[in-house]
Amino acid sequence: MAGTSSTFEILDDRFNECVKTSAQLDKLFEECRWAEGPAYFPAGRYLVWSDIPNDRMLRWDETTGTVGVFRQPSNYSNGNTVDRNGRLITCEHGTRRVTRTEHDGSITVLADRFQGKRLNSPNDVVERSDGSVWFTDPAYGIDGDYEGYRAESEIGGCHVYRIDPVSGECQIVADDFVRPNGLAFSPDERKLYVSDTGASHVPNGPRHIRVFDVSEDGTKLSGGEVFATCTAGSFDGFRLDYAGRIWASADDGVHCYHPDGTLLGKVLVPEAVANVEFGGPRRNRLFICATTSLYAILLPVTGVRR
Ligand code: MG
């Protein structure tokens, strides 16, 4: 039955199995300027995320509910993910690079240049199960001094890249975006979804998610048709659940799409959402980075296992 509660908007009957309408939206923290890049660490039972304009990363501890500073300065970090070995991978606007934090705390640079030219400002990142790291490189971190350092683009475009797990080489996998932003693989990793937030810079520009086919060897993309167009602002970051549904950030909350492209419903959030992450011991708690705050809600579905 379609309907709206204070927390959910149900637009398709299939959304009823995705939410528990009695579930509450919990606010876990509220002192950010622009919360982004949530990454959940199962072994430590904590969530790390970025507070970009404040040039810091925060950590919410699941066992105590407390929040502390994880890293400051953070080089204006944005998107984060946890790799197969439990290590943090981070996009940094300030240093215009993608890094990995090793288990001993040292930082390894995974990419900072393409063919000798500096990246713009990596925004969001995901690892594939073959160890390759895929990231987007829009220009938000060099457009001004609010969330990075103003600079000209050396590459002259905003592309999607793949870092090879063996050679470490960085290659362009999609070069027809205005502002590529969030990205995530389907559960079988045969599809890659990438959002374009180009409407922020081009009148009537893109505010959609595109879907690509990943080549058999996992190194190239084809297709790239529009999967869904945002009905409230733009899609920034997003994650998939085990059934391949897309839980995408939007201005009025989190929009949930069936893999067939239908908007099933929304988790309504009182602030504009930038990104989400499935976490908790059972991976069924959706963490939501929304402007000044970190929220979470318990769901009857779990995030995709990578
Ligand atoms: Mg983003």
> What is the Å distance from ligand 1's center to 274 Cα?
6
> What is the Å distance from ligand 1's center to 94 Cα?
15
Looking only at the bridges linking them, the beta strands covering 67-71 and 56-61 are: antiparallel
Residue with tokens 């999609």: 174
Query: Rounded CA gap, 229 and 235, in Å?
Result: 8
Query: Rounded CA gap, 300 and 303, in Å?
Result: 10
> What is the Å distance from ligand 1's center to 179 Cα?
10
> What is the Å distance from ligand 1's center to 79 Cα?
6
Q: Per residue of the chain (306 residues), give pLDDT as tens.
A: 456 668 999 999 999 999 998 999 999 999 999 999 999 999 999 999 999 999 999 999 999 999 999 999 999 999 999 999 999 999 999 999 999 999 999 999 999 999 999 999 999 999 999 999 999 999 999 999 999 999 999 999 999 999 999 999 999 999 999 999 999 999 999 999 999 999 998 899 999 999 999 999 999 999 999 999 999 999 999 999 999 999 999 999 999 999 999 999 999 999 999 999 999 999 999 999 999 999 999 999 999 976
Q: Which of 193, 258, 263, 182 is nearest to 225 (CA)?
A: 193
> What is the Å distance from ligand 1's center to 242 Cα?
22
> What is the Å distance from ligand 1's center to 243 Cα?
23
Give this prediction's pTM. Answer: 0.97
Q: Exposed (0-12), middle (13-18) or buried (19+): which is 225, by Cβ within 10 Å?
A: exposed
> What is the Å distance from ligand 1's center to 91 Cα?
10
> What is the Å distance from ligand 1's center to 228 Cα?
17
Query: Rounded CA gap, 201 and 109, in Å?
Result: 29
> What is the Å distance from ligand 1's center to 2 Cα?
30
> What is the Å distance from ligand 1's center to 122 Cα?
9
Q: What is the pLDDT of residues 151-199, one digit of tens each?
A: 999 999 999 999 999 999 999 999 999 999 999 999 999 999 999 999 9
> What is the Å distance from ligand 1's center to 115 Cα?
24
- In the chain, the domains with their CATH numbers are 3-298 (2.120.10.30)
Strand order in the sheet with 125-127: 125-127, 133-136, 160-163, 170-174
Query: Which are the contacts of 82, defined by CB distance < 8 A and separation ≥ 6?
Result: 39, 40, 41, 88, 89
> What is the Å distance from ligand 1's center to 111 Cα?
18
